[in-house]
Each structure stands twice: as C-alpha cells, then as structure tokens.
Amino acid sequence: MKIKIFDFTDENLQDIQCCKYCIYWEYPEECIDPVKDEKEDLIQKKLKWLQDTNRLFGSCGKIIYVGGKAVGYAQYAPSKFLPHSSDYQAGPPSKDAVLISCLFIFHKQFIRLGLGSKLLQSVIDDLRSRRIKACETFARKGNSNNPSGPIEFYLKNGFRIHNDDKEFPLMRLEL
Ligand SMILES: CC(C)(COP(=O)(O)OP(=O)(O)OC[C@H]1O[C@@H](n2cnc3c(N)ncnc32)[C@H](O)[C@@H]1OP(=O)(O)O)[C@@H](O)C(=O)NCCC(=O)NCCS
C-alpha cells in the first residue's frame, strides 16, 4: 500500500467524503442531516471553520491517502474552536490540550489495517513539533460509531482515561 498523509487544506477539503458536510463539532446549533440543496452551504461553513482555525491555531487536520485515494481524516484543535465539546459529560477538555474531534477511516475495506494508528501518529507528531503539551479525545465505550472511534483504539495507542464516563470518557495522551 502506498500511503501518504497530507495536511487538511482548502485544496483537499473535497476529498474527505461525508465529513465535508459535517459541522457537528464546529456549529452544533446548526448541525443537520444534509439534503442536496444544503450540501453547498455546509461545505462553505466547514471551509470557513478550516480557514479561521488555520489562521488562529495552525494546521488542524490530516488526510490519509492510499494509492492516491483519500481513505481517512483526522481533525483537531483547542476545544474553544470545537464548541460541541462543552456538551460532553466527561469534559471540558483540558486547557493545555488539543482535542482530536474526529478520526475516521471512511471505507470499511481499509479498517483494522493500521491506517487509523498511522493517521493518529501523524497528528501526535505534528502536535509534538508545535510543543503542545497533550492531546485528548472523547472516545466511546462499547461501540466504534463515534467521531473519533472507540476507547480500545486509544488505549492501544497509549492514551489513558483522564475523566471517565459511562459512554464517552475523555482520553488523554501526554506529548
Ligand atoms: C476507529 C478507527 C479510526 C481505527 O482505525 P483503524 O485503522 O481501523 O485501526 P488500527 O488498525 O490502527 O487499529 C489499532 C488497534 O485499535 C483497536 N481498534 C481499532 N478499531 C477497533 C474497534 N472497532 N473495536 C475495538 N478495537 C478497535 C484494536 O486494538 C486495534 O488493534 P488490532 O486490530 O490489532 O486488534 C477506524 O476503524 C474507523 O474509523 N472506524 C469507523 C468508526 C466509525 O464508525 N466512526 C463514525 C465517524 S462519524
């Protein structure tokens, strides 16, 4: 498999499959199921969030490609850029940490091949190089259907439970 990972930018926004329509973390009050006519509005909102966050925080996403095809996406930023994070019981995310809001391998045939771990490692490497102290995420217990995936994935990748919850514990990795 020829694997490449690139920063999430204006130019590759179109590559992130259904995630380009998702504003769950960014604009929780406006989060809706996209119908055809609304899709362009949702992409424009995602693009505005990306541009604002890039300007104020710096790089805030990675896309993983296999053989030139985008197969996964990670998004991360301080929690003030991700207002939905304040709705989680195990929150708020720590002030010294960057929150991984999303980490998703889009295509079923590419899961459990180590690509999610590679994508996560690229996020960790980026944050370390920027001297960020820690990264956190709301993982899910008992179900992998979650924006950033299941708790087992984060435990396997060195995270620990920072603040427990019956369904969405806040996980943390010191960098
Ligand atoms: C969660 C996810 C990002 C992990 O990426 P991945 O490439 O599949 O995971 P890796 O191959 O790097 O897995 C590393 C380890 O994490 C753990 N893990 C990964 N996915 C898991 C799952 N679904 N259940 C339990 N453990 C899991 C395992 O310990 C795994 O090691 P193993 O395969 O040797 O047992 C990916 O599977 C995914 O996106 N799944 C879909 C989740 C979903 O529906 N999200 C909705 C988004 S809106």
* C-beta of 19 in contact with ligand 1 (< 6 A): no
* C-beta of 161 in contact with ligand 1 (< 6 A): no
Give whole-number Cα distances, 18 to 56, 95, 162, in Å: 25, 30, 30
Q: What is the pLDDT tens value at each position of the chain, 175 positions in all?
A: 799 999 999 999 999 999 999 999 998 776 666 666 688 889 999 999 999 999 999 999 999 999 999 999 999 999 999 999 999 999 999 999 999 999 999 989 999 999 999 999 999 999 999 999 999 999 999 999 999 999 999 999 999 999 999 999 999 999 9
3-state SS track over 123-135: HHHHHHHCCCCEE
* C-beta of 103 in contact with ligand 1 (< 6 A): yes
* C-beta of 145 in contact with ligand 1 (< 6 A): yes
Separation CA 173–CA 175 (nearest Å): 6
Pocket test for ligand 1, best of 112, 148, 171 (most atoms within 8 A of CB): 112
- Return the number of other C-beta atoms located less than 10 Å from residue 135's C-beta: 25
Q: Domains (ranges, CATH) in the chain?
A: 3-174 (3.40.630.30)
Provide the whole-model pTM. Answer: 0.96
pLDDT of residue 35: 62
List residues bridging with 135 in a β-sheet: 98, 173
Separation CA 81–CA 70 (nearest Å): 25
Tell me how far apart the 2 most distant CA atoms of the chain are, in Å: 43
* C-beta of 148 in contact with ligand 1 (< 6 A): no
Pairing of strands 97-105, 134-138: parallel
Whether residue 124 contacts residue 135, with contact meaning beta carbons closer than 8 Å, is answered with yes
